[in-house]
Amino acid sequence: MASEKKDDKKRIPKYEQIIAMDDNKINILILGTSGCGKSTLINAILEANEAPTGVGEAVTKEIKIYQNEELPFRMIDTVGYEYGLFRQNKIKHAIASFCKEGVKTADVEKLIHMIWFCIDGTTKRIDQEVLGYIKSVTNDWKNVPVFVVFTKSYSRIEIEENTLMANAAIEKYNNSHKKRPLNVKEIIPVVAKGYPIDDAVTVAPMGLDDLISKTIAFAPEAKQISESAIKEIDLKIKNAMANSLIGAATTGATAVGALPIPIPDATILVPIQSGMLRGVGKIYDIQDKGVANEIINTILKVGATTMAGKGLLSALKAIPGMNIAAAVLNAAVAGSITLAAGEISNILFKKAYTNEIDLKSVDWSKEVETLFKDYLPGIIEALKKLSAERDGKIDAKSIGEVLAVLAKTFLKENKGKTKKE
Ligand SMILES: Nc1nc2c(ncn2[C@@H]2O[C@H](COP(=O)(O)OP(=O)(O)OP(=O)(O)O)[C@@H](O)[C@H]2O)c(=O)[nH]1
Ligand SMILES: [Mg+2]
């Protein structure tokens, strides 16, 4: 039982499963500079809902989740942004990885649906740098909706001025970041806690109801936006995992290929390559083992024949340095085929995972062939460049290094998407 549970945790959930786990609460990441009043706001909202105080569950020192039964949303409190590089990076990193964690661990309490970006209403400034901070910590949550919350909105004049200023600052930011603008939906002034002006006058709390009701009204849209972000993040994570597996197998195959042993290379490479391909299949949750095995065998077979048959081997042999030693050529062949095979499995299994293709009915053997023709010349081109840079003095190690860099390039190109032919 215990081991079952452990296995369950290790298994990467499908984004559809994550989305289906919906528990009707939305999660709000609360960001803002230090001392702007984030924690005070959270306390005020919890108390307005007659919740016991101190229900925060510490996730890290930097992040705490607050919730109660009545509220249809969770508030995720973060330590404020500060103008010191060291603290800033630490906080940035903690929040950015928190944002990914929900998808990685299928923890609904950690999926981000929207942001309350708190600004101290008395400071009368919004830095472009701070706006960039919101974007950078939520980099993966594309289009995450933002409510700007002006805390400490003690006076009417400030409220009016702040709203104008916020609109101008956001417009300026979005104009200079057209590709990744901030998706600001509301600007809401609040006073979370009474503010005594003198013995006789205290500014009463205000704006909390407005903030709560607008948040609740926006929840369905926020959920929809986050669903597409979840899918994208999930694919990014899987793509990164697949590529690190492919990179390692490529390096391994290159090294094995360079060994001066009198066994046909293909035989020694099969365990490395099929292990890699099975691993990629597992990452993309390919359930049908029969189909997966068939595809893996096809990839291995087609890889070897394409390399040999399409003039690629002779192209490889023609590269200065490759023909010096059989070991170098073998290393290049082994590494190239492994890398291409890995990338092909990454593309095919990813398409199956996102239901773009049905592995059972699609003519994937043809697709495998096409993909090999796409990938191998590029790989050979990279090796040619390496040889030219080093005046033909190349060895198995440098080949392994070049292929590893190439694997990373493919990772970027495939980033969360399937390659369009
Ligand atoms: N009277 C009054 N004081 C407030 C209000 N909001 C914040 N403050 C005060 O401002 C100070 C900072 O508030 P916090 O809620 O701790 O600020 P924070 O954003 O959580 O700060 P960090 O956790 O450092 O990021 C505290 O002394 C609060 O009492 C408010 O609405 N009314
Ligand atoms: Mg705080």
Tell me the per-residue pLDDT of 161-195, one tens digit each, with 9 for 90 and over. 999 999 999 999 999 999 889 999 999 999 999 98
- Residues by chain with Cβ below 5 Å of ion ligand 2: 38-39
Band (pLDDT 50/70/90 cuts) for residue 53 is very low
CA dihedral defined by 79, 80, 81, 86, rounded to 10 degrees?
A: -40
Tell me the per-residue pLDDT of 264-306, one tens digit each, with 9 for 90 and over. 556 778 888 889 999 999 999 887 888 888 888 888 888 877 7
* Nearest ligand 1 atom to alpha carbon 191: 31
Band (pLDDT 50/70/90 cuts) for residue 52 is very low
The label of the residue with tokens 């215990």 reads: 2
Distance of CA 39 from the midpoint of ligand 1 (Å) = 6
- Which residue did the predictor score with more confidence, 6 or 313? 313
Supply the mean pLDDT for the chain. 83
SS3 (DSSP) at 184: strand
d(CA 33, CA 183) in angstroms, rounded, equals 19
Q: Which two tokens stand for residue 279?
A: 């691993």
Distance of CA 40 from the midpoint of ligand 2 (Å) = 7
d(CA 235, CA 233) in angstroms, rounded, equals 5
Task: Say yes or no: CB of residue 154 within 6 Å of ligand 1.
Answer: no
pLDDT surpasses 50 at 6: no
- Which residue did the predictor score with more confidence, 80 or 3? 80
Best CA proximity match to 36, nearest among 76, 81, 4: 81
Distance of CA 11 from the midpoint of ligand 1 (Å) = 41
Environment class of 2 (CB within 10 Å of its CB; exposed 0-12, middle 13-18, buried 19+): exposed
pLDDT surpasses 50 at 142: yes
pLDDT surpasses 90 at 158: no
Best CA proximity match to 150, nearest among 133, 169, 132: 169
Q: Which two tokens stand for residue 308?
A: 């040999």
* Nearest ligand 1 atom to alpha carbon 44: 31
Distance of CA 40 from the midpoint of ligand 1 (Å) = 5
Q: Which of 40, 45, 60, 78 is the pocket-test mutation for ligand 1 (most atoms within 8 Å of CB)?
A: 40
Tell me the per-residue pLDDT of 188-229, one tens digit each, with 9 for 90 and over. 999 999 988 888 888 989 999 999 999 999 999 999 998 888
Q: Which of 114-128, 299-313, 395-409 has the highest mean pLDDT?
A: 114-128
Tell me the per-residue pLDDT of 403-414, one tens digit each, with 9 for 90 and over. 888 887 766 565
Task: Say yes or no: CB of residue 36 within 6 Å of ligand 1.
Answer: yes
The domains found in the chain, sorted by start residue, are: 2-206 (3.40.50.300), 232-414 (no CATH)
To the question of pTM greater than 0.85 for the whole model, the response is no
